[in-house]
Structure 1
Amino acid sequence: MVQSFLDQTELLRTMDRQMGAAGLVDQMNGHLTAMEDALTFAILPGTRRPIAAALAGASTLAAWQALDAGAVERAWRRYELAKKAAQDAESPLYLAHAMGEQAYVLVDASRPLLAVELIRDAQRTQAERQSPRLRAWLAAAEAELCAAAGPTMEADARAALERAEALLPDDADTRDPDMLSIFLNAGHLTRWRGNVLAKLGDATAMAELYAYLDSADPSFVRATSGLHCDLTQAHLARGELDDARTHLQKARLLANRTGSVRYRRRVELLTGQL
């Protein structure tokens, strides 16, 4: 049963990144309800833990989908469910990851400094039991959240990026077997670094972003919308308006294709700067 839950989550995750979350709400809700019911009637700890771990992974996915759809309160509640499930599973990895992603809800709710505090708390949550890839992901997330908090945290953002690079395992893997919710390799970190540098107005962001664009996984359709938003921002910082408009149009098309409210909002903000 647990493997069936994991397989269903993986299918929903694949559909989400390729087509967006808008058409998956009912499926995701039914999937979570089935796992919550299974956990409710599981008796022995050895039975409850794997179900709870599966629920934690699915709940973070559901929360990220809700955030992408602009449903901030629903996203928050899904992250609370994920954290509770991670505690039931006795999994510091899923707990730290849920806390880290929940920080993005605070950014969307205009509380960036509180978001930075939460992502730092996540990194301190049983840090000795966190995998290197998860620690690298949390450090990169801190860098992005510091950049979003404004120019006063630029040094913190750059320091967190350096930590992420140092922590990322030097291998060809993208995911940890015990942490399937995270996709992170050297290529993904290049895109993330470009995102942070673009937010900081750093001209070197351009090289990082184009390097990733040339080798990007085409299945990450929604994420590519964010990449074009970053390139728009980077070109704007250099006053290259024609290039900025080109990437903004691509970002808009992909955001509309996946139904991403979050990226549509960013596109509109960037449109106002052209």
Structure 2
Amino acid sequence: MLDVASTASLHVYVSEWENGKRQLSERYARILRPLLGVTDDELYGRHAQSAASAEVGGYSELISRIDSARSVSLTMVKTFMDQTELLRTVDRQMGASSLVDQMTGHLATLEEALTFAVLPETRRPVALALAGAATLAAWQALDAGAVERAWRNYELGKRAAQEAEEPMYLAHATAEQAYVLNEAGRPEMAVDLVREAQRLAGQHVSPRLRTWLFAAEAELCAKASLADDCRRALDSALACLPDGDEARDPDMLSIFLNGGHLARWRGNALALLGDDDALSSLYAALDAADPTFIRATAGLRCDLAQAHVARGEFDQAQEHLRQARLLANRTGSVRQRRRVEQLTQRL
């Protein structure tokens, strides 16, 4: 049983607690929490409201936020997506390390808009914008070595894609999340997850995204030493690839994939398997590489180094690793730097 002050003293205490003149002790907090039905933040005034004022001001603030969310127009959603595109472009050319604050703020704005949007016609466009942004933020976090943040952002992207009823975005976020499992040393589980992404995509998926999903499966199968499965997935990717040099998927703006990109992916997978055919695909990809894809080029240099190491061609491997290290340092990619160091130890 707790000893408490007299009734007269409690009147004084309550007044002083409300006016911030007395610090609320844990003894009285244990009594007030269940009585008032409030959280610690609310009880200790971290939201700067007393229990009495919160009842009125809280509803007022809630309605204000709901009204603001209702006013989010398609133009505003386009602005959100344009911001994501800008962050994607900067990331591609300069790396993710300088974008943490901007990306965090961008996600917070989108989450706020979605949290207080009420009706589906408002929620779905915002959810779609959040799905794309969260998946980009997750990939950036993985590149920076922040694996738990990457996982949480993929989960956020998946939930947003489900809310938006967009199977392509759900499949893409799920397949990219498989790379977190692979980086964590669970390549077999990663293969299962990328195949689940293909199932989630169903028939409502663009040819370029379907190609991307098969290529991701091939890479992860190679990392899991599933050579036959890897080659089957590569064949499926090639069969799905649209004709022409266009790389951008108009239905899924985060996907860049043409014959040159797929050649790089094929070479990477074959290099992981120690296949001699890897080099021809990788050098073809290097010739066709977009110079603005800095991080991707660092990965390609690592792939070439790996292929040369498998053939015992250490001088060539060392030169590609030198180039890869420069590019990884330029973008601040922890993931690529780790790979460079791992390959360097094999020389």
Larger RCO of the pair (alpha carbons < 8 Å, separation 6+): 1
Match of 1:186 among 250, 259, 262: 259
Where does structure 2 lack aligned partners over 5 or more consecutive residues?
1-75
Give yes or no for the alignment of 1:105 onto 2:180. yes
Correspondence 1:141-152 to 2 at 5 A: 141-150=216-225
3-state SS in 2 of match to 1:22:
coil
Q: Deviations over 1:109-158 (max 9, x none)?
A: 111110000000110114111221111100000000000112xx100000
Match of 1:90 in 2: 165
The more displaced of 63-72 and 170-179 is 170-179
SS in 2 for 1:170: coil
1:32-86 CA distance string (max 9 Å, x none): 0011111112222112111111110010100000000111111000000000000
- Tell me how many residue pairs correspond in the alignment: 272
Measure the CA separation in 1 of the matches of 2:247 and 2:311: 33
The residue identity in structure 1 corresponding to 2:110 is: M
Residue number among 277, 291, 296 corresponding to 1:204 in the alignment: 277
Give 4+ residue runs of structure 1 displaced > 3 Å after superposition. Answer: none
- 1:116 matched residue in structure 2: 191
> Identity percentage over the alignment?
70
- Tell whether the 8 Å contact from 2:96 to 2:332 is kept in structure 1 after alignment: yes
Find the aligned partners of 2:244 and 2:120 in 1 and give their Cα distance: 34
Match of 1:17 in 2: 92
CA contact 2:267–2:279 (8 Å) conserved in 1: yes
In the aligned structure 2, how far is the partner of 1:146 from the partner of 1:215? 25
Partner in structure 1 of residue 151 of structure 2: 76
What is the rounded CA distance, in whole Å, between the counterparts of 2:190 and 2:231 in structure 1? 17
TM-score, normalised by the number of residues in structure 2: 0.77
1:135 aligns with 2:210: yes
Unmatched runs of 5 consecutive residues or more in structure 1: none
- The one-letter code sitting in structure 1 at the alignment partner of 2:171 is A
Identify which of 131, 144, 147 aligns with 1:56.
Answer: 131
Cα distance in 1, alignment partners of residues 102 and 193 from structure 2: 30
- Alignment deviations for residues 182-230 of structure 1 (CA, whole Å, 9 cap, x no partner): 1111111111111111111111111111111112100000111100001
- For 1:171 and 1:6, the matched residues in 2 are separated by 27
Q: Does 1:32 align with 2:107?
A: yes
Output aligned runs, 1:240-259, within 5 Å: 240-259=313-332
- Aligned partner (choices 204, 223, 234) of residue 161 of structure 1: 234
Q: Distance in 2 between matches of 1:10 and 1:181?
A: 9
2: distance between equivalents of 1:215 and 1:178? Answer: 23
2:170·2:201 contact (CA, 8 Å) conserved in 1? no
**What is the rounded CA distance, in whole Å, between the counterparts of 2:189 and 2:258 in structure 1?**
28
1:221 equivalent in structure 2: 294
| 1:70-108 residue CA offsets vs partner (Å, 9 max, x unmatched) | 111110000000000000100000000000000000001
* CA-CA distance at 1:169 after TM superposition: 1.4
Cα RMSD of the aligned pairs, angstroms, is 0.9
List per-residue Cα deviations over 1:228-268 (Å, max 9, x = no partner).
Answer: 00110111111111111100100111111111000111001
